[in-house]
Amino acid sequence: METQQTPGIIETEVSNTLTEKEKKKLERKAHKKDIKQNKRAARNYEDSAIEAGRKPCTLCGTSCDVLIRCQIDESETWHMTCTKCWNEVSGGVVDGASDKEFYKYGGIWKNHKADVTGKKPKRKEKQPTLNSPP
Ligand SMILES: [Zn+2]
């Protein structure tokens, strides 16, 4: 079965004498382009807002969208650690590995600005390359 598809609206911009109606149409088109560009600028602004909303890891200083609040030593100081440092101080266990006697889990902090757009934080962990592309 063959289905005939209408190829959409083909615009002809060959007429030398533009009517008022056509002129307005073109103006509107240009205006639309403007809006698109503004939107893109807004998105860039959003990105920098996300970056501004990040907090640095208290151990390594890396700015992150997600930090884990925890105590890691006898000073009972609350640290905000990135996932990488958290793995080291907790042994990769939420409540702390058995040999991490001073470790205490205190919750998770998330960059809400990043959540608004649903943008996932960039992963810095090395991903295992199991299947290499052909
Ligand atoms: Zn860190």
- What does each of the 134 residues of the chain score in pLDDT, given as a tens digit? 555 666 666 555 555 678 899 899 999 999 999 999 999 998 888 889 889 999 999 999 999 999 999 999 999 999 999 999 999 999 999 999 999 999 999 999 999 888 644 445 555 556 556 666 66
Distance of CA 73 to the CA centre of its chain: 32
How many independent structural domains does the chain possess? 1
3-state DSSP assignment of residue 80: strand
Residue 68 within a domain: yes
Q: Would you say residue 125 lies in a domain?
A: no
Give the distance (Å) from ligand 1 centre to CA of residue 111: 16
How far is ligand 1, taken at its centre, from the CA of residue 85, in Å? 4
The alpha carbon of 65 and the centre of ligand 1 are apart by a number of angstroms equal to 12
Q: Could you give the CA distance from residue 113 to residue 48 in angstroms, rounded to a whole number?
A: 10
Q: Give the distance (Å) from ligand 1 centre to CA of residue 40.
A: 32
Domain boundaries, position 88: 55-116
pTM of this prediction? 0.56
Whether 96 maps to a domain, the answer reads yes
- H helical segments located in the chain: 20-53, 83-90, 112-116
Q: Give the number of other CB atoms < 10 A from CB of residue 87.
A: 14
8, part of any domain: no
Q: Does some domain include residue 98?
A: yes
Residue 109 Cα to ligand 1 midpoint, Å, equals 14
25 in any annotated domain? no
66 is a domain residue: yes
Question: Does residue 44 lie within any of the structural domains?
Answer: no
